[in-house]
Structure 1
Amino acid sequence: MSSLRLIDNTANPAPLGLLGFGMTTVLLNIHNAGYYELNTMILAMGIFYGGMAQIIAGIMEWKKNNTFGTTAFTSYGLFWLTLVGLLLMPSLGLGTATSKVAFAAYFFMWGLFTFVMFIGTLRINRALQVVFLTLTILFFLLAARDYFGSAAIGTLAGYEGIICGLSAIYAALAQVLNEVYKKVVLPLGPV
C-alpha cells in the first residue's frame, strides 16, 4: 500500500508581507521624524501595501500552515487599515477624532501584541527578532508620545521606526535573494 505525500511548492509569502510592512513603516516614520507632512502617499501605502498586501500575505501563510505568519501579516495589515481609518473617518463625518490618550492606548495594545510576537521570533531567526523587537519599541514610543504629548519622543520614534522598517525590508529581500540564488546571499541568522 503506497502512501500519498503532498509537497508544498507554493511561493514564500513572507517577503511580500515584510516589504508591505517595511516600506510603509519607513515612509510613515520619515514623517514622524519631521521630514514631511502626513500626506496621501502615506495613507495610500497604509491602505494598499501596508494593509492589503499584508492581509494577502497572511492568507497565503495560512495556506502554508504557518500560524505565526498568518497572525503577524493579517494583524499588521489590519493595523494599517485601522490606522488610516482612525485618521480619515473624522474628516468623512464618521465619528469624532481620536484623542491623544486613546491613540496612546491603541499603540500600547499593539506594542503588547508585538512583544508577545517577538517572543515567537526567538524560535525563528535573528532578522525577524530585530524586526519585532524594534517594532515593539516603536509602538511603546508612539504610545508614550501620545500619552505625554512629547514632540521629542515622537521624533525619536520616527528615527527608530525607520530602523524598524529597514530591518523588515532587509529580512524580505534576504529571503528573495537567498531563494533566487539558492544560497545565503544575505544572512537571516537562523536560530
Structure 2
Amino acid sequence: MVEETENEVVLKDLTANPAPLGLLGFGLTTVLLNIHNAGFYPMNSMILAMGLAYGGIAQILACWMEYKKGNTFGMVAFGSYGLFWWSFVFLLILPKMGLATAPDPVSLAAYLFMWGIFTFVMFFATLKHNRGLQVVFMSLAILFFLLTAGELTGNSTITQIAGYEGIFTGLSAVYVGLAFVINETYKRDVLLV
C-alpha cells in the first residue's frame, strides 16, 4: 500500500511594488503642469514631454505591473491616468499639427469634468487604502472640478487657484510614492502614508 502525503507549496511574490513608479510619474508631471496653471511659465515642450514619458509611459508600465500582481485598483488608476496624460498632450498637439481643431472651453470643461467624476468615484476605493492615497484622490478630484469651473467661466483666477491646488495634489502623490520607496528600503514605516 502506497501512502499519499500532501505538500503545501507557498509562492512568494518577489516582484517590485509598481505603485511608487506610478505615483511619482503622476505626481511630478502634475506639479509641473500646475506650476504652469498657477501662472509661473507658459505651456511648453517640457510639460508635453513629461506628460508623454513620465506621466504617460511610466504610469502605463505601472498599470501593467499592477495587472500582473492582481491589483485591479492600481491597474485602473495608473492605466487611466497614464492615458489621461497622453490624451491631454494630444489635445494640445493635434491642433498644432493641423489634424484637429482645438477644444472650445465647453468641450474642454466636459473632458475635465468627466475626469473629475471618475476620480471622485475612485476616491471611494481609496477608503480601503492608506490616508496618503485618499488625500491624492480627493485633491485630484477637486483639481479637476476647479479646472472645469475655470474653463466654463473663463475666469483665470479660478485656473490660477487650481494651479496651486494642483501643485499640492502632485506633491502629495510624490510624497506617497517616495514614502513607499523609503519604507520598503528600510523595511519599516519611516514615513507615514
Please tell me the TM-score bracket, short chain as reference: over 0.9
| 2:55 is equivalent to residue 50 of structure 1 | yes
Structure 1 residues 82-101: aligned runs within 5 Å: 82-101=87-106
Aligned-pair identity in percent equals 63
Return 5+ residue gaps in structure 2 as ranges.
1-5
Misfit runs of 4+, over 6 Å: none
Match of 2:189 among 181, 184, 190: 184
Match of 2:136 among 131, 147, 151: 131
User: Deviations along 1:15-51, whole A, 9 cap, x unmatched?
Assistant: 0000000000000000000000000000000000000
Match of 1:172 among 165, 171, 177: 177
Q: Give me the whole-angstrom Cα distance separating, in 2, the residues matched to 1:165 and 1:100.
A: 24
Match of 1:27 among 32, 36, 39: 32
| 2:88 is equivalent to residue 122 of structure 1 | no
TM-score normalised over the length of structure 2: 0.96
User: Deviations along 1:125-180, whole A, 9 cap, x unmatched?
Assistant: 00000000000000000111101111010000000000000000000000000000
Superposition CA RMSD, Å = 0.6
Match of 1:74 among 67, 70, 79: 79
Q: Give me the whole-angstrom Cα distance separating, in 2, the residues matched to 1:137 and 1:170.
A: 19
Q: Which residue of 1 aligns with 2:3?
A: none
What is the one-letter code of the residue matched to 1:74? Answer: G
TM-score normalised over the length of structure 1: 0.97
